[in-house]
Amino acid sequence: MHKSKIILLLLSVIALNTSCQSKKVEKKPNILFCIADDVSFIHTSINGTAELSTPNFDRVANSGVLFNNAYCNVSSCAPSRASILTGKNIWELEEGGLLFGGLKKEYPTFSTALKNIGYATGYSGKGYMPASHKEPYQAQPLAPEYNKIRNKVPQFMSNKDYAGNFDEFLSKKDKGAPFFFWYGSHEAHRKYNPGIGVKSGKDISKIKVPGFLPDNDLVRSDMADYFYEIEWFDTHLGRMIKTLEEAGELENTIIIVTADNGMPFPRAKSTCYDYGTHMPLAICWGNKIKGGAKVDDFVNFTDFAPTLLEAVGLEIPKGTTGKSFLDVLFSGKSGQVDAKRDRVFTALERHAYCRPEGLGYPIRTIRKGDWLYIINFEPERYPAGNADFDSVHQGFYGEIDAGATRTYLIENKDNDSVKYYADLSLKRRPEVELFNVKEDPYNLHNLASEEKYADLCKELKAELFEYLTETGDPRMKGENPWDNYPYYFKGLETKHLKPIGERDKN
């Protein structure tokens, strides 16, 4: 054989072997899913919020993609996390769509799918909770192999060492196994250490109060405490990133940083207004994702499960409602990448037990373009809970987390300077609401009754109801199972609710 042909043959063999070896050694990506508790979209320093420093969230965003239009499926922690884990809307999950409900075993989670193909799985802090983990519900949808909170109490700080937990998890897992780790911070959930924000050096004169809250030193100080809690979450994120760098795993790790629902203040958390459902979201994945992109595509939390399953090469289960946005991540583009991603749907059924017999406050919305269209199915009920209702759990106005701002609002709700803000949160709402979010980011001016928006309301309602029908929302059939689901909280866990026909709807 001619010498040149022998050389070409040898080169071909070498190339083939190299190709085969590269396929053999190709690693599944690790996944670090970081989810804060109760943080609205605007509250990261990359978005310009004064007196708030989130350098590690910003680093993930600058290394990968910052999403400008990410929305939780529901502004309530356990059901929001259930939608993440299953890729389904809350109206598709029975009790899984409620706080203090439970996620049935028939609804598969992406974390279990990862564990089944050899991923080491673990979490630190808040997993899928608060919810029942007893039959017939899933004992722990995160399928953890390890979870242990290490305590560490520096001055003015939380006592939860999430990053220490992550280090310990990595040291104990099989060295050859890829991992999925869920960092579920309890921060910035209340309750706060009053004044901790000011004590840590925050200048409350620089804090911008949302337009739906009274702008005074008390509210500003409460927000400073909230900012402090966000920074604690971000500090542990930074430590985890450093650990990945030192272990040589950063390039092969998908890092997702977000929050479960909006800030724990009136007219935010447990509502479907933008400060309740619009979430911070940054994602990086080594050099697989081009850094610095800012994407306007609408992403719903139901989209996380199919995206991660596709990223690791798993088939997306039939019946998954969310859609993978892996193509958006890989595009390297900013702005609107996929023209079809121009809308999301959000919802609420029952958050707290704060109305007679545990009645909820059912809402469905479509957020499309600049518009937020809301249907309140039971407008005769009080959205924040009944003023005179008491319960084992949260008591009156229980849809608003207890804290300095809530107390101030309730105690001064009849004062001229506060009444407007109190009414926004505490009074009944109309059946239909329409807001131009671009012009009215605080959702204060309901345009639904204006004649010039009548056609827009019809179009948005039709689109909303079409989607709800396609995805099997019982409300489209005139059914309401949620008011009859039990509320698994100490003192109420055996209290099954009365049939709807026997209820007082006030």
| CA-to-CA separations, 451 to 71, 202, 375, in angstroms, rounded | 29, 46, 18
Range from 174-178, 251-255, 321-325 carrying the lowest mean pLDDT: 174-178
| CA–CA distances in Å: residue 336 to residues 65, 298, 302, 307, 354 | 13, 9, 19, 18, 41
Range with lowest mean pLDDT among 122-136, 344-358, 488-502: 488-502
For 326, the enclosing helix (H) or strand (E) is helix 326-331
Residue 78's pLDDT band (cuts 50, 70, 90): very high
Are 180 and 28 in contact by the 8 Å Cβ rule? The answer is: no
For 420-430, what is each residue's pLDDT tens digit? 999 999 999 99
Query: Within 13 Å, how many C-alpha atoms sit on residue 457's CB side?
Result: 16
Average pLDDT over residues 94-99: 96
* Per-residue model confidence as pLDDT tens digits over 30-48: 999 999 999 999 999 999 9
The full set of domain ranges for the chain reads 28-336, 346-502
The strand pairing partners of 299, in sequence order, are 70
pLDDT above 80: residue 29: yes
Instruction: List the Cα angle 42/44/46 in 5-degree steps.
Output: 100
Predicted pLDDT of residue 274: 98
Average pLDDT estimate for 117-127: 92
* Residue in 208, 223, 266, 218 with CA at minimum distance from that of residue 422: 266
pLDDT at residue 18 in the model = 43
Q: Which residue has the higher pLDDT, 394 or 350?
A: 350
Which has the closest alpha carbon to 174: 148, 149, 146, 142?
146
Helices (H), 154-303: 162-172, 196-199, 217-246, 274-277
The pLDDT > 90 percentage for the chain reads 79
Residue 2: which pLDDT band, with cuts at 50, 70 and 90? Answer: low
Bridge partners of residue 283, in order along the sequence: 65, 256
Enter the pTM of the model: 0.90
Output DSSP code: residue 287. Answer: B
Q: Is the pLDDT of residue 20 over 60?
A: no
With 70 as the cut, is the pLDDT of residue 245 above it?
Answer: yes
Longest distance between any two alpha carbons in the chain, whole Å: 100
The pLDDT confidence band at residue 224, using thresholds 50, 70 and 90, is very high
Q: What is the mean pLDDT of the chain?
A: 89
- Which stretches does DSSP call E strand in 76-163? 120-125
According to the model, what pLDDT value does residue 396 have?
80
How far apart are alpha carbons 60 and 126 in whole angstroms?
22
Q: Which residue has the tokens 């399928």?
A: 143
Output the six-digit token pair for 298: 């609408």
Q: Which of 164-173, 227-236, 340-349 has the lowest mean pLDDT?
A: 164-173
The yes-or-no verdict on residue 145 having pLDDT over 70 is: no
Q: How many CB atoms lie within 10 A of CB 498?
A: 15
- Grade residue 146 by pLDDT with cuts at 50, 70 and 90: low
Task: Please check whether residue 365 is in contact with residue 347, taking contact to mean a CB–CB distance below 8 angstroms.
Answer: yes
At residue 341, what are phi and psi to the nearest 5 degrees? -90, 65
Task: Determine which of 144-153, 405-414, 418-427 has the lowest per-residue pLDDT on average.
Answer: 144-153
Query: Are residues 87 and 305 in contact, defined by beta-carbon separation less than 8 angstroms?
Result: yes
What integer pLDDT is reported at residue 414 of this predicted model?
94
pLDDT value for 11: 45
Instruction: State the amino acid at position 485 in one-letter form.
Output: Y
For 351-404, write each residue's pLDDT tens digit.
Answer: 998 888 889 999 999 999 999 999 999 999 999 999 877 544 445 899 999 999
CA–CA dist 382, 464 (Å, integer): 23
Assign domain 28-336 to a CATH class: alpha beta
Query: What would the pLDDT profile of 454-477 be if each residue is shown by its tens digit?
Result: 999 999 999 999 999 999 999 999
pLDDT of residue 493: 56
pLDDT at 149 over 80: no
Task: Tell me whether residue 181 is exposed, middle or buried, using C-beta atoms within 10 angstroms of its C-beta: 0 to 12, 13 to 18, 19 or more.
Answer: buried
- Specify the pLDDT at position 309: 98
